[in-house]
């Protein structure tokens, strides 16, 4: 992507990877609009980054998505980058009962939300001289975390959707890129400072550098083995990965 001269709308922009990405884009002189559910956090981030804008958005509500999309097109007619970043990661138990409300919340936030938001903005994006949809999936789309099976599956689905979306937009001005983060030290599952987690600042630095290329997929080097695992031999790799975490679990 071109890293400058953009008008960027980013969901989940009040913490973690989302906030850091928004601030990195903002420092490059882009007009950045962040979305989140809590106004107090939006106000905190925008106050720390003069010129950045914020808007309340419930990514689980189709009507709210449509209303915010209409507001964006009216207020920011040069909007040309959509960053689908909002996500939640509750743990579950694929060997037992799954709480239906939690399952639906994960799928709504991580999969339906990006699809609905993109659909609400796609015709506007097609009118721009250059535009980008940036989907934030996860390395767990390729090497699932068994203790968070629904989250892993939702990210695998968004990866698949991104592949189809990229093909369907091939003859337009809209490009599709995907970020597949590894375990990054954020508050997505509770900030633990576990040494196995990649420091957030290092992740953002490497990701921004890679985003400046034409790469369809951005995977930092520390996560490459988890991305490249997919294939006929993936079962043993996934089993070993999850056994390692079972033997040395994440302390929340």
Phi, psi of 70 (to 5 degrees): -65, -40
Q: Which domains does the chain have, with CATH numbers?
A: 7-247 (3.40.50.720)
Instruction: For the chain, give the percent of residues with pLDDT over 70.
Output: 96
Q: Say which DSSP state 42 is in.
A: H
Count of Cβ atoms closer than 10 Å to residue 146 Cβ? 18
Q: What is the mean predicted confidence (pLDDT) over 2-12?
A: 97
Continuous H helices in the chain = 16-27, 39-48, 62-75, 100-107, 113-126, 149-168, 200-211, 224-228, 234-247
**Residue 47: partners with Cβ closer than 8 Å, 6 or more residues away:** none
pLDDT tens digit sequence for 211-251: 999 899 999 998 898 898 877 888 888 888 889 888 877 66
Question: What do you get for the CA distance between the two ends of the chain, in Å?
Answer: 36
Q: Is the pLDDT of residue 85 over 70?
A: yes
N residues, the chain: 252
Q: Would strands 81-84 and 131-136 be described as parallel, antiparallel, or unpaired? A: parallel
Q: Is the pLDDT of residue 154 over 80?
A: yes
Whole-prediction pTM: 0.91
pLDDT, residue 193, reads: 66
Pick the catalytic residue from 25, 151, 203, 226. 151
Q: CA 238 to CA 217: how far, in whole Å?
A: 21
pLDDT, residue 247, reads: 86
Beta pairing partners, 178: 135, 217
Which of 151-155, 176-180, 227-231 shows the lowest mean pLDDT across its residues? 227-231
pLDDT, residue 249, reads: 72
Q: Is the pLDDT of residue 2 over 60?
A: yes
Q: Is the pLDDT of residue 189 over 70?
A: no
Residues 51/56/61/67 CA torsion (nearest 10 deg): -60
Give how far Cα 18 sits from Cα of 21, 22, 138, 148, 232, Å: 5, 6, 13, 21, 33
Residue 112 known to be catalytic: no
pLDDT, residue 104, reads: 96
Are the beta carbons of 162 and 115 closer than 8 angstroms? no
Q: Is the pLDDT of residue 252 over 60?
A: no
pLDDT, residue 245, reads: 84
pLDDT, residue 230, reads: 75
Instruction: For the chain, give the percent of residues with pLDDT over 90.
Output: 79
Are the beta carbons of 186 and 16 closer than 8 angstroms? yes
Q: Is the pLDDT of residue 180 over 90?
A: yes
pLDDT, residue 250, reads: 66
Q: Is the pLDDT of residue 194 over 80?
A: no
């Amino acid at each position: 992507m071109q890293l400058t001269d953009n008008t960027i709308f980013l969901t989940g922009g009040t913490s973690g990877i989302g906030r850091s990405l928004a601030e990195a884009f903002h420092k490059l002189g882009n007009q950045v609009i962040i979305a989140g559910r809590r106004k107090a956090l939006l106000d905190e981030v925008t106050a720390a980054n003069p010129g950045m804008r914020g808007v309340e958005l419930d990514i689980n509500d189709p009507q709210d998505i449509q209303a915010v999309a209409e507001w964006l097109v009216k207020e920011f007619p040069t909007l040309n980058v959509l960053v689908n970043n909002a996500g939640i990661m509750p743990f579950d138990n694929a060997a037992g009962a799954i709480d239906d409300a939690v399952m639906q919340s994960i799928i709504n936030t991580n999969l339906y939300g990006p699809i609905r938001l993109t659909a609400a903005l796609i015709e506007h994006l097609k009118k721009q001289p250059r535009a980008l949809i940036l989907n934030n999936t996860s390395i767990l789309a390729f090497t699932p975390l068994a203790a968070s099976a629904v989250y892993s599956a939702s990210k695998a689905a968004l990866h698949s959707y991104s592949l189809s979306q990229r093909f369907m937009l091939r003859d337009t001005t809209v490009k599709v890129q995907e970020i597949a983060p590894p375990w990054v030290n954020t508050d997505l599952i509770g900030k633990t400072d576990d040494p196995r987690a990649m420091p957030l600042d290092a992740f953002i630095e490497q990701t921004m550098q890679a985003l400046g290329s034409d790469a369809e997929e951005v995977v930092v080097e520390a996560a490459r083995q988890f991305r490249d695992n997919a294939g006929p031999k993936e079962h043993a790799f996934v089993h070993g990965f999850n056994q390692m975490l079972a033997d040395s679990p994440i302390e929340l």
